[in-house]
Amino acid sequence: MAYRFFADSTVEANVHRILGEQLEGAIDQLSNQLQSTPDRAIHDARKHLKKGRSLLRLVRKSMARETYRLEENRLRDQGRLLAPCRDSEVYQHTLDDLLDTYGLTLDTHGFTDLRASLAKRHQVQLAALTDRDIPMAAIIGELRGSKARLNQLALDKSGWEALAKNLKRIYRQGQARYQSACDSDSPEAFHQWRKRVKDLWHDTCLLRQLWPPIMTAFSKETHRLTKILGDEHDITALRRFLLKHSEEVAIEEVQLQVLLPLMEHRQHRLRRQARELGQKLYCETAAAFTHRIAAYW
């Protein structure tokens, strides 16, 4: 499954192939892998859907506006149905990583009970999705419908023209959201920036054959930024869950008094790393960046 454009195919043929592969990958995970490895299947299915949505954004100006809106929304909505299971799994990993970063163990301040209650809640979320056939069958049916429709997708532009405006827009949006995150230092601003960084990472993966050494290096650094921003967002999500839904898990005030300062300190460090890397990745104007990629094309 090659998430990249092939030089011997048209842009439209590449789009058909890649969207088909990503949707089939999501369908396979939810149809054939869910019972044996549910956490991995849900995680991988959501990754396939995100890659498909990024590709749609890369060609959105070459599609009918209504077609783009409907198909992108459908993929987004199916991904959201899987999100609660993924979120409840991430809460556990985020707690583990946070404690490990600061040299704490689950036994410290009674975190064993909190971790166990998070795991139990995750199993409840998982059962709600996997123990009944109808919800999953509906998701798979929707994805098959999307695959069939997108296989007939017609672009009204070809070659570089089909991508140029969209790539410029994605880079410009990422640049603006980077500046907004730096200015406000708010969790929401960093989360919104992360969305466009992910698109830029996916786009450089799609285009890496243009000049493999350069595009691969840029893709790796962009991916590193998505990981940093992802870790930062996971801490925000865990904090919000613990503060708003403390009755659902085994957590006491003393544990919050330990965790909240650690979360704040960890996010401060992650945001500093993100700003430093973002300054390098977004150092060009959107026009200059697009012109450079056009030259590679």
236-292 pLDDT, tens digit per residue, is 999 999 999 888 898 888 899 999 999 999 999 999 999 999 999 999 999 999 999
The span from the CA of 261 to the CA of 273, in Å, is 19
Residue 141 lies in a domain: no
Residue 112 lies in a domain: no
Yes or no: say if 223 and 201 are a contact pair by the CB < 8 Å rule.
Answer: yes
Residue 115 lies in a domain: no
Q: Categorize the per-residue pLDDT at 18 as very low, low, confident or very high, splitting at 50, 70 and 90.
A: very high
The CA angle 259-264-197, to the nearest 5 degrees, is 120
Q: Categorize the per-residue pLDDT at 132 as very low, low, confident or very high, splitting at 50, 70 and 90.
A: low
Number of domains the chain contains = 1
Determine the structural domain holding residue 176 and report its residue range.
Answer: 163-297
- For the chain, how are helix, strand and coil distributed in percent, rounded to 5? 85, 0, 15
Q: Categorize the per-residue pLDDT at 133 as very low, low, confident or very high, splitting at 50, 70 and 90.
A: low
Residue 249 lies in a domain: yes
Residue 186 lies in a domain: yes
Residue 173 lies in a domain: yes
Yes or no: say if 108 and 96 are a contact pair by the CB < 8 Å rule.
Answer: no
Whole-prediction pTM: 0.95
Per-residue pLDDT, 246: 82
Share of the chain above pLDDT 90, in %: 88
- Give mean pLDDT, residues 31-49: 95
Residue 98 lies in a domain: no
The span from the CA of 56 to the CA of 62, in Å, is 10
Residue 153 lies in a domain: no
